[in-house]
Copies of this chain bind each other. A is one copy, B any other.
Amino acid sequence: MVLWPRPRATHEEKAVSALTHDGAASAPRRPLPEAMSVALQALFGPRLSSAEAVRLQHGRDESPFPTTPPDAVVFCETTEEVAAVVRLAAEHRVPVIPYGAGSSLEGQLLAVQGGVSIDLSRMTRILRIAAEDLTATVQAGVTREQLNAELRSLGLFFPVDPGANASIGGMAATRASGTNAVRYGTMRENVLALTVVTGRGEVVRTGTRARKSAAGYDLTRLFVGSEGTLGVMTEITVRLYPLPEAVSAAVCHFADVASAVRATIQTIQLGVPIARCELLDVNAVRAVNRQSGLALREAPMLLMEFHGSPAGVKEQAEAVQAIAAELGGEDFEWASTPEERSRLWAARHRAYFAGLQQHPGTRSVTTDTCVPISHLAEIVEASVADAEASGLPYYIVGHVGDGNFHLAYLVKDGDAAERATAEAMSERMVRLAIALEGSCSGEHGIGLHKIGFLEEEAGPGGIALMRAIKQALDPLDILNPGKIFLR
């Protein structure tokens, strides 16, 4: 059992207030002037909507925050249309919030200062697949499943897989990663170039299709992960990979979560190029069994996947099997057909909803810490003990090969006390992650929910640099204001 790095603190109240985002917006709603409505109407006709249902849909994401709708939604179809909206927004000092698939998790999409939601979900053109260069350029609304469907017949794939069928634009904006990141990297490593609409409504291309470059500031990676606060990405060029010659998936059960985590740590330390290494605790396995009609043994489990040549895959799997066996891993089972594999991964991807369905009427408060791999067992064990003691239902899934895991506390919708308990545990976990030289967010981003945590992680100096960059690129504070940090 660890000592939590600081006493349970003042932050708790702040986190709860963030959940209702009192204060999180840092500024009041700004009205949408009539002149701008008229101008948008002229440009977009029926593709401008202020219908309540549409606004409500665009004022929420998968976070536990109350819906906070924008004043209007425009459905853009081209980069130039996006630029036109931003120019109007700049003229009228109105916030704009880029919207893709609506699957973000930390409140990124909420219109906390009002304004216009720029819906990019109709920008679904795959502009170019350069199979010979292993690159693809897509419009921001293309989803990862759409892209992969298109790539399959070419023997290629795009590996970044956050579970949800997110848009590539949204994934770039939140620096998403997911199950394949341990081998293929995150959006940070896999975005080569962008077309971005700046805060002045200008269209800028960052990066090139070359695999590497030392040419000036890395604007591409500055925009990746900026959550719509520095510009609106409209086209994204990503890296592709040849479909591996052989793929095999395996599950292995452990007596406890800590043993499963230790098996992961040793696998990474040994340098096994494992493609996916996912942890599900017993609660997650149980939920997945119910929801997906599987009959997985209800014990902590690693779900792994190996990519390579047939011989290479076999070699990797044997190495991991030996490690797992030493840590009491049992029932090392293979899913060798594509159908079995798909079934397992589909179940894994449904874990989030499966967990919620186990406890009707709840919403989840989900953590996203990421630590250096040697500290993973420590933080997982401490967090499990904390969750058990709280009496709240919870489950764990994790991209443990990266040191990243999600503990979802399920709290009754509208129950302020349960929420406060969950947020307090989340806060303790983040503090521990930071003390262990890790991050408050491995892949979900900051949004509204983790503003206080980012302050602690980056420190006043880091936040000051971020503010200076924001001020330089968005002096009017119209690009998704009130997110990531407070001005």
Contact = CB atoms under 8 A, between A and B. Distances in A.
Interface of A: 130-135, 174-177, 181, 185-186, 188-189, 198, 202-206, 208-219, 221-222, 224-226, 230, 241-242, 244, 265, 268-271, 308-309, 311-312, 315, 368, 370-375, 402-404, 433-434, 437-446, 450, 453-454, 457-459, 461-466, 468-469, 471-473, 484-485
Nearest to A440: B215
B219 A221 contact: no
Q: Shortest 10 CB-CB distances between A and B: which pairs?
A: A242-B271, A472-B472, A204-B461, A213-B439, A132-B374, A133-B372, A221-B221, A209-B437, A210-B370, A175-B214
Given A210-B439, A311-B312, 18 more contacts: A189-B189, A198-B465, A202-B461, A209-B437, A209-B438, A210-B442, A212-B370, A215-B457, A216-B225, A216-B462, A216-B466, A216-B484, A217-B226, A218-B225, A219-B465, A241-B271, A312-B315, A469-B473
Nearest to A230: B217
A264 to B, nearest CB: 12
Question: Which interface residue of A222, A403, A466 has the most chain B CB atoms within 10 A?
Answer: A222
Contacts of A133: 372-375
A462 B219 contact: yes
Nearest to A463: B216
A381 to B, nearest CB: 17
Contacts of A204: 459, 461-462, 464-465
Contacts of A458: 206, 215-216, 219
Nearest to A442: B212
A130 B372 CA distance: 9
13 contacts: A130-B374, A174-B214, A175-B218, A176-B214, A177-B212, A186-B212, A203-B461, A209-B438, A210-B442, A216-B462, A217-B469, A219-B465, A472-B472
Contacts of A188: 212, 218, 221
Nearest to A401: B211
Given A174-B214, A214-B176, A208 B437 contact: yes
A100 B321 CA distance: 45
A461 B205 contact: yes
Contacts of A438: 208-210
Nearest to A244: B271
Contacts of A211: 370, 372-373, 402-403
A413 to B, nearest CB: 26
Given A225-B217, A309-B315, A181 B212 contact: yes
Nearest to A444: B214
Question: Which interface residue of A177, A217, A244, A473 has the most chain B CB atoms within 10 A?
Answer: A217
Nearest to A193: B437
Contact of A454 (B216, B269, B433): B216
Nearest to A462: B204
Contact of A134 (B269, B443, B471): B269
Contacts of A308: 312
Nearest to A465: B219
B217 A441 contact: no
Contacts of A226: 217
A31 to B, nearest CB: 28
Nearest to A177: B212
B461 A208 contact: no
A469 B433 CA distance: 30
A194 to B, nearest CB: 11
Contact of A457 (B208, B230, B373): B208
